[in-house]
Structure 1
Amino acid sequence: MLAEVVFDLPLGQAFTYAVPAHLAVAPGQRVLAPLGGAVRAGLVIALAEDGATRVKPLAGTLEPRSILSGGQLDLARWIAAESCSPLGSTCAALLPPALPTEPMAAAPDRPAGPAELPELLVGADRVARVRQEVDRHPGGVLVLTADVGAAAEWAAFLAPAGLAVRLDSGVGDRERWRAWNSLAGGGRRLAVGTRSALLAPVPHPAMLVLIDEHDAAHKPPGAPRLHSRDVVLRRATLEGGRLLLPSATPSVEMWWRADHGRARLAPADPARWPAGSVADTRGLLRREPLTPGLARATQDALAQGRRACLLVSRLTSTLACDDCGAVPRCPECGLALAFSRVDKALSCRQCARRHPAPDTCSACGGRRLSPFGWGADRVEHALHRRFPRARIARYDPDATRGARLETQRRLAAGADIVVGTRGALRLFPPASLGLAGFVTPDQLFRIADFRASERAFALMWAAVERVRPDGQVVIQSQHPDHYAIRAVLSQDRDEFYKHELRFRAELGYPPFRRLCRVSVRARQEPSARALADACGRRLREAGLTVYPATPDRRGLAWRLVVKGPADLPVRVAQAVAEPPTLPRARGIIEVEMDPVD
């Protein structure tokens, strides 16, 4: 008997080994096998009759039986193919560490049931609705969150008695393995985890829940290089289970699916919305971060004994006219051009075209073009001057770590005014603030990313949900008529998605076409450039749109952005895998499907 084995290595192939007579192995089982002068852990993906003449034997098994069923293995194969990732690395990222001394339940094959449409839960009661659906579901439930902190919160919320098992890096290896084993054996029915739990064997019939599917954190760096949304959609289709997607602001891709009958938008009563206003800041905010409207709203919140949260952005890598708010955009891609302070130049991160930084605004002729904005520290100092008796704290989890972050969290917990980036919203439960103010949200719209408006919309909506119905929302903007701002203040999701889908259709962005980022690295600049050119040539021959390659500062790493139809992963994999015209030995090729940054 022969076994095909894959390893957690950047290799796209399986290796064949002889199965010794004293070993019983099956597909989906973890084994030990010699490779490259060492014994490594691998995963059996197939068995075949003995036909090879000279192959090495397996060294042993890591576990007494398979950890993956046939259906789970098929799903892992799909993930690897769709993300252009090695199957071995994909499985290693989605499995708990092996514990050979622990008793192990068999991985059951789940019978497939009738497929149901994914259900979008967008109402203010979506959290309570999830708990209700979990309590009434007769089978197993897998709840997936974007990060470890959210996993801990949801586990405590859904199962106060500790009946939920966790599958994320916030718990130890032994606890993760036992959680997986208890699900496979049917001893537990509720699991909460992050993307590493995507293959968790919850009892049949399974219900999948993906919390805040619009969050880019559902696709962190590393294997598997695929958004959790795509995986749960595929899993729900294969297994026929229910899929709930609770999110106040679904991704544009999921909203498009609902528009086309491929998902169901659950009916929901609108939440009570606070009063909102927009302050036009064109030509303002040169010396003070607060307009009179936002200053009055802050004073009102303090007078009423309510808390205020002022949100800022630390992203200042684009130019904008201080007089009219216009932003230089790429004529080809429609994205905001990134500004380099070193080169004093503008460049498109999509097509790599470069332009000299202008001296005047092309829209109004103004001469005040600036990449700078109001960061958290500058706003905090300005607030201390204006409101000297208020307790003011800064909370910036996007740029702070460790003990300093904990100090910020402690001070923010007792502050009247909290100044922070988007992560500061995690400090406040729904309907708890007297005021949510956006100091410079225009920087969010100017990010050189086609998802800039979508992410700004999601952030503003999340902030408004944290304001009391009798509170206030003030948005300071040089683009007061932006459709994302209008949609948030009017509580009209359709308004936003209608404009956003039109923009993406016109320029060929997802969900209408797919994107891919191909990165090449080499030890010498000529080798890296040659490999990038060869990849670009092969990708163009495959009929794909390939933007010019862009290097890093040393020229040892190059990046190509590729645009194509739904079968983009297949075309890219074929183009970069063929060795005859690619100098593979001189470099490394990495593929990132559907990049989120």
Structure 2
Amino acid sequence: MPAYVSVAFDVPVDRQWSYRNPDGLDAPVGSRVEASLGRRTATGWVVATGDEVDFDPSLVKPYLRLVDAEPLFGPETLALASWLAGMYFCSLGEALSAMMPSAEREGRRKAGAQGGADSGSFDDVRIATAPLSPSDEQQAALAAVLSKRAGRWYLYGPTGTGKTEVFLEAAEATLAEGRGVIYLVPEIALTRQVEDAVRNRFGDLCSVIHSGLTAPKKLAEWRRVLRGEARVVVGARSAVFAPVKDLGLVVLDEEHEGSYKSGSSPRYHARQVAMRRAASEGARLVMGSATPSVESWRLMTEGGIERLSLSRRLAGGDMPSVEIVDMRVEEGALSKRLIEAVRAVKKEGGQSILFLNRRGFSYFWSCKTCGAELKCRHCSVGMTYHKERARLVCHYCGYQAAPPSSCPECGSLDTGWAGFGTERVEEEAARLFPDMTIARLDADATSRKGVLERTLDDFRDGKIDALLGTQMVAKGLNFPGVRLVGVILADTTLNLPDFRAAERAFGLVTQVAGRAGRFVKGGRVIVQTYRPTSPVLARAAAHDAAGFYGDELAVRRELGFPPYSRLLRVTVRSKDAGQAKSSAAELAGRVAHAAQGGAVDVLGPAECPIAVVAGNARWQIILRSADPAPARSALAAALAGWKAPGAVYVEIDPDPVSLL
């Protein structure tokens, strides 16, 4: 029995603490212990054991309690945690705490609790689907995936072409090989259809792991997976860490989704973790989307991932027609064309979805004559209007300019600020369609238990004529009665001050359009915009993905943005605005000094586009390099020996998906 254990705690300190095994106890690697840490008691992870320590043994205290009768992870998970810590600038303890069920809450539960049949349960949402014979394309895609025991594939095709069935068939074949499966979905509240399909196919072999589970249920499910009782794990981002035995397949559905990126430390991306696990454990990785990320599209075109294409909608519908409406000649939030279309669909007995993208900025500068927007002369990204300063600001490099009195493109004096608020759209819809039942589906609805499921059921049953939704209506919802989708304002995404703005706009319009006409021919999509000549919207309207990605990759290559570079974002925040600004400037200077002579561009410091969050002023520094190693080294050197003032916090985000 080893005398000592090395324990990692969920603290931002890159070290472990040594403790002694009390008489009669033996804490194995992978178990949790409760121990004194400074003046408090904390739960940590045992990451090593031994009979010696490299300092006076009399100073080593015993830990207070062994939490787990059996380890919660093995060598593979520990190796993954070490990689995660190095990749995402966090401690080993922070990495393990992000990967494992919550230590503090679950450690006080019975360690050996068994998971019942409902341990990973979810509220059933009925699905309007019928068994379909696999198409030739589906059979070819499945054969390609199963032709190798390991590799990377991308299942690409419009919504409704049967990607989910290929995923499920691949999972079934993997189980037949005696290997396990992880099936990742972007947001668990929106993917109950996938959960239901997996549960129906695999029964008790399925485990659902996500943040909505209570602490004891999540721990029970984790142990079921660890014991090999559950061999198919379905879940959102954190399920990528599930301790699946003999991992043979990782599915990453809707790969383009930004929710696969963690918003708190460690800021990992599930796609990168999935790639790491598949490579190190000899598993297949199959990703899929109707709108791949630009990074994945480049990998497909250059041979880094094998593309498997699906082109035919299987439920009888065809791709909808997409009409772009010029809002410069309209007065309200809903155009005449959209109003007429909603009323016509109601008369036909169909349903409509009205999509309003709440993310982004409510106000942006726009020429009402030619539709031009202002871009930074240095960064070629949209500039943000700061009303309190009456200035346009670039949040990449800090460049500022006064709003022009006339359009620099066409000289028109008819310029101003564009944007719709959600309240305005709701009020207009209620006034314009008094004989229709309209429901709203947004984050507020999902926060109240049962409201989301009830709304979706009512819409599926035809009790609701029109669904006013935010981004969640673009993500995997599948309703046979939807014949019309209206995009209230595409510009809120197009004008984001982010180099990914075009990618997001194309993806959102394409994904939302995919909700229309899946089961009937003649589906319609109406896209409202102040930029009717936008090439991004033109590509989306023509269902021309290849053209869009070709255009976007050319722009990214010219400007040196991902996927032709790697970004490392540093955010400095404080409730003291002056300290946030000065600390960001000081740190940026240190980074620039450390990066001298290296292949690293240091952009900023500049205010974050969302300059204040929860009372904290926010500034950002962006490191850009062809390879991530030089930027990481420069930042590590800059941080060495530097301590931010007590009221200042520094956040590090490798490969950010958003710079807001």
Structure 2 length as normaliser, TM-score?
A: 0.81
In the TM superposition, residue 405 of structure 1 has moved relative to its aligned partner by: 10
Q: 1:369 to 1:316 in 2, by over 3 A?
A: farther
2:74 and 2:511 map into 1 onto residues whose CA distance is: 39
Distance 1:526 1:381, change over 3 A: closer
For 1:101, the equivalent position in structure 2 comes to: 110
Match of 1:128 among 165, 181, 188: 165
Query: Residues 529 and 441 of structure 1: is their aligned pair in 2 closer, same or farther, counting only changes over 3 Å?
Result: closer
Instruction: Specify the alignment match of 1:297 in structure 2.
Output: 341
Q: After superposition, what is the alpha-carbon deviation per residue over 1:8-47, rounded to whole angstroms, capped at 9, x for unaligned?
A: 1122222233445643233333222321122311112234
Which one of 335, 354, 363 corresponds to residue 310 of structure 1? 354
Counterpart CA distance in 1 for 2:427 and 2:41 is 59
Q: Does the Cα contact within 8 Å between 2:20 and 2:60 map onto a contact in 1?
A: yes
Aligned AA (2:345): A
Could you say if the C-alpha distance between residues 171 and 451 of structure 1 is closer, same or farther in structure 2, counting changes exceeding 3 Å? same
Q: 1:485 to 1:28 in 2, by over 3 A?
A: same
- Counting only pairs closer than 5 Å after superposition, residues 397-476 of structure 1 correspond to structure 2 as 397-398=442-443, 402=447, 406=451, 409=455, 414-425=463-474, 428-429=477-478, 432-468=481-517, 469-476=521-528
Instruction: Map 1:518-533 onto structure 2 (within 5 A).
Output: 518-521=570-573, 527-533=579-585
Aligned CA RMSD, in angstroms, stands at: 3.0
- 1:68 corresponds to 2:73: yes
Q: Is residue 153–residue 287 contact of structure 2 (8 Å, CA) maintained in 1?
A: yes
After TM superposition, the structure 1 = structure 2 runs for residues 203-218 of structure 1, keeping only pairs within 5 Å, are 203-218=245-260
Pick aligned residue for 1:351 from 397, 405, 430? 397
Q: State the shift of 1:434 in Å.
A: 1.3
1:155 is matched with 195
For residues 247 and 430 of structure 1, what CA distance do their matches in structure 2 show?
19
Deviations 1:64-110 (A, max 9, x none): 343221111111111121111222122112111444633389xxxxx
Question: Does residue 1:57 correspond to 2:61, yes or no?
Answer: yes
Matches within 5 A, 1:70-219: 70-97=75-102, 98-99=106-107, 101-103=110-112, 115-122=150-157, 124-138=161-175, 139-150=179-190, 152-160=192-200, 161=203, 163-219=205-261
**Cα separation, 1, equivalents of 2:37 and 2:484:** 61
Give me the whole-angstrom Cα distance separating, in 2, the residues matched to 1:21 and 1:513: 54
Q: Would you say the 8 A contact 2:149–2:248 is kept in 1?
A: no
- Of 373, 377, 380, the residue aligned with 1:334 is 380
CA contact (8 A) 1:320 1:370 kept: yes
Distance in 1 between the 2:533 and 2:581 partners?
A: 44
Cα pair 2:327 2:528 within 8 Å, conserved: no
Partner residue of 1:279 out of 324, 328, 332: 324
Distance 1:295 1:528 in 2: 47
Secondary structure of the residue aligned to 1:266 is strand
Deviation at 1:442, TM superposition (A): 1.9
With over 3 angstroms needed to count, the CA separation of the structure-2 counterparts of 1:440 and 1:104, relative to structure 1, is closer
Query: Take 1:61 and 1:388, find their aligned partners in 2: how far apart are those partners?
Result: 63
Q: Which moved more, 1:94-103 or 1:199-208?
A: 94-103
Q: Which amino acid aligns with 2:535?
A: Y
What's the counterpart of residue 145 of structure 2? none
Larger displacement relative to structure 2 (140-149 or 392-401): 392-401
| Distance change >3 Å, CA 31–CA 191, structure 1 → 2 | same
Give the Å deviation of 1:125.
Answer: 0.7
Change in CA separation of 1:354 and 1:42 when aligned onto 2, cut-off 3 Å: same
Q: Are the equivalent residues in 2 in contact too, given 1:516–1:595 (CA < 8 A)?
A: yes
2:637 is paired with a residue whose SS is helix
Aligned length: 587
Structure 1: which 5+ residue stretches go unaligned? 106-112
Residues 451 and 405 of structure 1, relative CA distance in 2, 3 Å threshold: farther
Whole-angstrom distance in 1 between the partners of 2:151 and 2:245: 18
Residues 456 and 425 of structure 1, relative CA distance in 2, 3 Å threshold: same
Q: Report percent identity of matched pairs.
A: 25
Match of 2:420 among 343, 354, 374: 374
Q: Is 1:565 equivalent to 2:565 in the alignment?
A: no
Instruction: Give the superposition deviation at 1:590.
Output: 1.9
Structure 1 window deviating more from structure 2 (403-412 vs 300-309): it is 403-412
Partners of 2:645 and 2:155 lie apart in 1 by 44
Aligned mates of 2:343, 2:180 — CA distance in 1: 50
Deviation at 1:381, TM superposition (A): 3.7
Change (3 A) 1:503 1:398: farther
Please state how far the C-alpha of 1:522 moved relative to its aligned partner: 5.3
Asked if the contact 1:380/1:394 (under 8 Å) is kept, the reply is: no
Tell me how far apart the structure 2 counterparts of residues 144 and 237 of structure 1 sit (CA, whole Å).
Answer: 17
1:247 aligned to which of 289, 309, 312? 289
Does structure 2 retain, via aligned residues, the 8 Å contact 1:380–1:392?
A: no
More deviation in 232-241 or 293-302? Answer: 293-302
Q: Per-residue deviation at 1:251?
A: 1.0
Whether contact under 8 Å (1:317, 1:447) holds in the other structure is no
Shift of 1:152: 4.2
Q: Provide Cα deviations, 1:504-549, integer angstroms capped at 9, x if missing partner.
A: 1111211111222212345756654443233212221224322222
CA contact (8 A) 1:313 1:376 kept: no
Q: Deviations over 1:412-457 (max 9, x none)?
A: 6733233333223469515541111223212220111111111121
Give CA deviations for 1:257-302 in whole Å, capped at 9, x if unaligned. Answer: 11121111113133353442433516312x2344444344333312
Instruction: Find 2:636's aligned residue among 574, 582, 594.
Output: 574
- The one-letter code matched in structure 1 to 2:624 is K
1:501 alignment partner AA: L
Residues 427 and 89 (structure 1 numbering): CA distance in 2 closer, same or farther, change over 3 Å?
closer
Structure 2 residue runs of 5 or longer lacking an equivalent are 115-147
* Range moving further from structure 2, 258-267 or 49-58: 49-58
State the partner residue of 1:108: none
Is 1:31–2:33 an aligned residue pair?
A: yes
* Distance verdict in 2 for CA 1:117–1:366, change over 3 Å: same
Distance 1:245 1:180, change over 3 A: same
Secondary structure, in 3 states, of the residue corresponding to 1:192?
Answer: strand
Query: In the TM superposition, what whole-angstrom CA distance separates every residue of 1:96-129 from its partner, at most 9, and x where no partner exists?
Result: 1444633389xxxxxxx96412433435210122
Could you say if the C-alpha distance between residues 2 and 399 of structure 1 is closer, same or farther in structure 2, counting changes exceeding 3 Å?
A: same
Aligned to 2:132: none
CA distance in 2 between counterparts of 1:197 and 1:383 reads: 39
Q: Secondary structure at the match of 1:561?
A: strand
Distance 1:404 1:53 in 2: 55
In structure 1, what residue type is equivalent to 2:495? R
Q: Deviations over 1:321-366 (max 9, x none)?
A: 1221111011111111011222221111222222112221111222
Find the residue that maps to 2:408 and give its secondary structure: coil
Partner SS state of residue 328, structure 2: coil
Q: Distance in 1 between matches of 2:187 and 2:237?
A: 9
Check 1:572–1:584 CA distance in 2 against 1; reply closer, same or farther (3 A cut).
farther
For the residue of structure 1 that corresponds to 2:357, the secondary structure is coil
2-structure distance, mates of 1:230, 1:507: 24
Asked if 1:545 corresponds to 2:573, the answer is no
1:376/1:420 contact within 8 Å kept: no
Distance 1:11 1:386 in 2: 58
Change in 2 beyond 3 A, CA 1:405/1:509: farther
1:109 is matched with none
* Counterpart-to-counterpart distance in 2, 1:459 and 1:571: 36
**Which residue of the partner structure matches residue 530 of structure 2?**
478
- Which residue pairs with 1:490 in the alignment? 542
Contact preservation (8 Å) 2:237, 2:259: no
Contact kept, 8 Å, 1:278 with 1:477, in 2: the verdict is no
Q: Distance in 1 between matches of 2:510 and 2:423?
A: 24
Moved more, 379-388 or 404-413: 404-413
AA matched with 1:63: D
1:237 deviates by 0.7
- Which 10-residue stretch deviates more, 67-76 or 407-416? 407-416
